[in-house]
Amino acid sequence: MTATHHHHTPDLFALSDVRGPVLRPGNEGYDAEVAAFNLAARHAPDIVVGATGADDVVRAMRWAAATGTPVAVQATGHGANFPVDGGLLINTARMTDVLIDVEARTATVGAGVKWRLLLEASVPHGLAALNGSATDAGVVGYILGGGLPLLGRAYGFASDLVHSLQVVTPDGTLHETDADHEPDLFWALRGGKGNVGVVTSLVTGLVPLSRVVGGGIYCAGEHAESLLRAYADWAPTVPPEMCTGFTLLRLPPMPIIPEAMRGRFLARVAVAWTGDAAEADVLLAPLRAAAPVEFDTVVDLDYRKVDEIYQDPQDPIPARECCALLRDLTPEAVDTLLEQAGPDAGEDYPLLMVELRHMGGRLAEPAPVEDAVCARDAAYLLESVGVLAGPEAAAAVEAATAALYTAMTPYGTGRTMVNLHGAPGRRHRPRPCLDPSDPRPSAPHENDV
């Protein structure tokens, strides 16, 4: 006998003042409103509110508080690690205001702003943001998780540059928080993700930069061991302005993949360097000599083109993502990683990508104002992605993911980056982050991106 769970949907009259759409399952536009970038996370809230501004978020949160309805929040959907089941989903994707203060080197951004939009506004002024490897992701959710930037070794975590945040807490109150005003809230929102409220906008610092030397050095997967061992020796010797990652890529034979790379197993070192191209060539010479280079895409780039460095997927896919923070990349750690995901793992190894991001540099320094980021003691980030193309593939991806992280546990710090730790496919009832006995309403969970 199968149990059926019936969700209770309180009266929506109190949401009639919301300017954006208020939708239930079956309403036109509902599916588009709840869609996530990760297609494995299929949200099914009882109600979705398409917020147009902070006032809509306040109204929605007050309604949730009055009715005891759990809340989740989403903008771009890139952080949708768990499918939302029931409750209220607040979609902030319409909140896309960007204001650049060139003199102060700051940007004020709404909750729905993507990094791409921010860079288009800032780079013409010679200013760059501390975005990650994909500019399609949302600014606010990324920063709430700390944010591991493309140029993190050179400039620190994205949350380090936050000046202030505007946030609606679970009781429906709008707060302005910074280092001097409600410092506990300011602490939690920089690295603690979205469990204490719905951020409607924030002010972040920008760095004086409009270009970067970036791209990838690729070799055939059969030479992955030579490239990885060289990388492990080389990475600790480079200055903090050299930001890199080593990746094992098993690319599908799909039209979105460049033809020369389609259906191939490749090893890559991705590069982002803030100095000039000649200096980059000198620093990268040992890597280029470590294995036969098949493709070398490292060039001087306008900073608005940084998606070309890691070439992350631009279209939604059903995926299983996971990560762990590593203390070091010892020879034993390299052996273990190669044993799990290297050339000998077999042609049918199911993980699309297994990647090491070099940390340290400014990422190892204390935050300007104490925060909730727990990754400052890590030397590397280990990340993986597997595509869930049907039940059989999903089972293989899950097994390979579990085996990889179990094997790498001895080299870890015991922690992960909150933005990348997800396990999509599991149903997730939005849960309180407060004490269960507390009569106050639940706060949003980690889908706040």
**CATH code for position 130:** 3.30.465.10
Distance CA 112, CA 76 (A): 7
Whether 216 and 356 map to the same domain: the answer is yes
Whether 178 and 305 map to the same domain: the answer is no
DSSP state for residue 385 in the 8-state scheme: E
Asked whether residue 414 is assigned to any structural domain, the reply reads yes
Whether 49 and 109 map to the same domain: the answer is no
pLDDT higher than 60, residue 79: no
Answer with the one of 164, 189, 208 that is the final residue of a domain.
208
**Per-residue buried b or exposed e for 308-328, using 16+ beta carbons within 10 Å of the residue's own CB:** ebbbebeeebbbbbbbbbbee
Answer with the one of 91, 114, 145 that is the final residue of a domain.
91
Asked whether residue 439 is assigned to any structural domain, the reply reads no
Asked whether residue 55 is assigned to any structural domain, the reply reads yes
323-382 pLDDT per residue, tens: 999 999 999 999 999 999 999 998 899 999 999 999 999 999 998 888 888 889 999 999
Nearest to 360 by CA among 246, 252, 271, 236: 236
Asked whether residue 427 is assigned to any structural domain, the reply reads no
Whether 388 and 402 map to the same domain: the answer is yes
Domain limits for position 136:
98-208
Whether 36 and 161 map to the same domain: the answer is no
Mean pLDDT of the chain: 86
Quick one: how far is CA 256 from the chain centroid?
A: 22
Whether 254 and 168 map to the same domain: the answer is no
CATH at residue 302? 3.40.462.20
Whether 249 and 296 map to the same domain: the answer is yes
Strands 127-128 and 106-110: unpaired
CATH at residue 47? 3.30.43.10
Asked whether residue 448 is assigned to any structural domain, the reply reads no
Maximum Cα interatomic distance, the chain, rounded to a whole number of Å: 69
Whether 319 and 247 map to the same domain: the answer is yes
pLDDT score of 83: 61
Whether 167 and 61 map to the same domain: the answer is no
Whether 197 and 217 map to the same domain: the answer is no
pLDDT higher than 70, residue 148: yes
Asked whether residue 3 is assigned to any structural domain, the reply reads no
Asked whether residue 449 is assigned to any structural domain, the reply reads no
* pLDDT band per the 50, 70, 90 thresholds, residue 391: confident
pLDDT higher than 50, residue 434: no
pLDDT score of 393: 85
pTM attached to this predicted model: 0.87
Whether 157 and 217 map to the same domain: the answer is no
Q: Which residue has the higher pLDDT, 156 or 441?
A: 156
Answer with the one of 41, 58, 91 that is the final residue of a domain.
91
- Number of domains the chain contains: 3
Asked whether residue 46 is assigned to any structural domain, the reply reads yes
Whether 200 and 220 map to the same domain: the answer is no
pLDDT score of 444: 38
Residues in a beta bridge with 263: none
**Inter-axis angle of helices 331-341 and 391-408, nearest 10:** 170
Cα angle 33, 39, 41; round to 5 = 80
Of the segments 25-29, 394-398, 401-405, which one has the largest average pLDDT value? 401-405
